[in-house]
Amino acid sequence: MASPLERRPRRRGPIAAALLAVDAWIDSSLYEIGFKTGQFWESATIFSRRFRVTGWRRGIIEVLSEGFTMGAGGFVVLLALAMPAFQITTGDWRSQGDFAVTFLDRYGNEIGQRGIIQRDSVPVDEMPDHVIKAVLATEDRRFFEHYGIDVLGLSRAIFENVRANSVVQGGSSITQQLAKNLFLSNERTLQRKIKEAFLSLWLEANLSKKEILQLYLDRAYMGGGTFGIEAAADFYFGKSVKDLNLAEAAMLAGLFKAPTKYAPHINLPAARARANVVLSNLVDSGFMTEGQVLQARLHPAEIVDRGEQKSPDYFLDWAFDEVKKIAKPGQHSLVAHTTFDANIQKAAEESVEFHLRQFGKEYNVTEGAVVVIETNGAVRAIVGGRDYGASQFNRATKALRQTGSSFKPYVYATAMEHGFTPDSVVSGGPISWGGWSPHNYNGGSAGNVTLITAIAKSINTVPVRLAKDYLGIGPIKAMAESFGVESPLESHKTMVLGTSGMTVMDQATGYSVFAQDGFAGSRHGITQLVTRTGDVVYDFAKDAPAPHRVLSEQALKYMNTMLAAVPAIGTARRAQLPNIVVAGKTGTTQSYRDAWFVGFTGNYTAAVWLGNDDFTPTRNMTGGTLPAMVWQRLMVYAHQNIDLKPIPGLDKPFVDEEIAAKAEEAEKNAEQAAADAAAERPPVLSSRTTQTLREMTKVFQTAPVLSAPSAPETLSAL
């Protein structure tokens, strides 16, 4: 008999046997994989030792390795910066639109044209050989050898510029210039140059060299309001590009660098000198011999007499955009009657150039922009920069620049609508708002001041206190937008001191409400659009929405009284006109980067901005200096031989005793406020402590006078 404690052998079934087999296979496989991997790693290590570098060579390898790593990272960063530019290429970027518009000024004189189909494009294959060679010799000799960016040409240009200590050669290839013309603006920023480089590579990858050259010759600005070499040939020589001789081709090729500076109808000697440089380039590049260009040197090109009237290109660019907004579908070949006034335009350009030439170095300022609007809403002049040929970027309608104190009228207008008056007294003392503590221009405290004194002296703390304690940011922003401001305004507390960017056009549009009796919506540049057959398809007087009131009559009167005090006793004395009432406001931004004066009379509103394209600070230039001077010189001309109109709410257009009295009274109030502020303690104590000290001061002032003690009593007291 078997013992019950004896363990009997367990019989395993077929399933258990299969599982054991699988387990054994997995174990053996893992072992085999590990073994093979070890063998491979050992072999790879032995093999890699052949390439191990030691000594001084190892240092070079490490530097190159780090360089490649950093270069790859930098390329990714640059690509990220350039990505927004590539979004432009997703649309129909080849098309300029099918608009063909001829523009007339307010008197019916032709001032220019816009639209690519105004001139037929001539294929590159049909252009004379000397035309193509002249362009390539001057603009991009290695055009057919590089891939969008000419590294050798760029290096040569940098070397020559350093040696000459000035910019004497450009390093941009034709492809880069085309990328800028097609997709980008002329603003001088690093981001724009990065986008330009990537877009150049994109163009080279998607177009042939012939197509790139064709687009460049068709789209480049050539001066005189012409775009494209065919249009320029017709404008300057009265012939097609197919019929140009070498002298004429050289003159046109010289325009690509600086079309305004070398435009032959403006400065024929300079154009001929530039053409001679192009002829030398043909010889230096090996495209022609000296004997082949000798005839062109001896007999320079003659041009068709077009007069010296400059094309108002900045105005035309803006007006062209306006036409696209209001034109009806299918009606794109049009004649546009505009509000443009050539005389006011010339005066505006002359005033900007005169003051920048005279004082530009002193104030370290290089650019300016102006917009002039008549009181009926008609835009009479636009200065978008000093030289359209050098930069087609319209600083008057495209550039967003901080407005500084010139934004304050929108704050005060909101206050007037909320029950304040010019004589309302508000503290101009120190104020803090959520960690923000704005200071006045002179750094001091203003004390209690009237609003008319605050705006005349441009006291910063007063509008901040109005916004913080009485108005709020929302109503101020809504007020500015109702005035016609189209620039995006930030809903931030610093907005009340002009930290939001605005265009010069927006500033002129907004201030024109004060000159137009509180009505907005009348600004326009196109009065009529007419087809080539004479049919009127748009009439501003009939088709545009009617102007609407955005400022009450009482608030308007208060505001114009206050703004008239700024040139009379405030920060804009340089803007005063002889015996004519002027109203407006100056503006200066942080670090003196932007300076403004926006002012108006009963006849015109004009906004003036001065600054630098690269946002570098000026040399202590305020809105009451150069901008006010530019405005004054322009307006003196604009008000000659016209019927003067009064500023709404001020009754008379001339400076009279009543206005002088108001100015004198406001001046006295400002002086008294300054004296009171100087007598106050610096804001280093708490409000409670300050109040206690003031009460103690009153007690001492009202206490009876004690008689002087006798000498013995005094000595005993000591």
Rounded CA-CA distance 492/165 in Å is 45
Helix (H, G, I), strand (E, B) or coil at 445: coil
Determine which one of 139, 204, 374, 417 is catalytic: 139
Please count the other Cβ atoms lying within 10 Å of the Cβ belonging to residue 387.
13
Cα–Cα nearest to 184, from 116, 88, 48? 88
CA dist list (Å): 387 to 172, 196, 368, 612:
20, 22, 10, 14
8 A C-beta contact, residue 185 and residue 393:
yes
Helix axes 290-298, 246-253, angle to 10 degrees: 90
User: Is 405 annotated in the active site?
Assistant: yes
DSSP 551: S
For the residues of 212-227, what is the DSSP string, one character each? Answer: HHHHHHHHSB-STT-B
Distance CA 391, CA 384 (A): 9
Q: Is 95 a catalytic residue?
A: no
DSSP letters for 106-147? TTS-EEEEE-GGGSPPPPGGGS-HHHHHHHHHHH-TTTTTSS
Please say whether the beta carbons of 365 and 612 come within 8 A.
yes
The encoded tokens of residue 645 equal 């109109």
> Which position among 200, 405, 458, 500 bears the catalytic label?
405
Q: Which of 445, 448, 418 is nearest to 552 (CA)?
A: 418
Gyration radius (Cα) of the chain, Å? 37
Residue spans of alpha helices (H) in 437-501: 451-456, 461-465, 473-482
Name the nearest CA neighbour of 665 among 504, 453, 437. 453
Instruction: Detail the DSSP E strand segments found in 507-653.
Output: 519-520, 526-531, 536-539, 548-549, 583-588, 594-600, 604-611
List residues with catalytic annotation: 139, 405
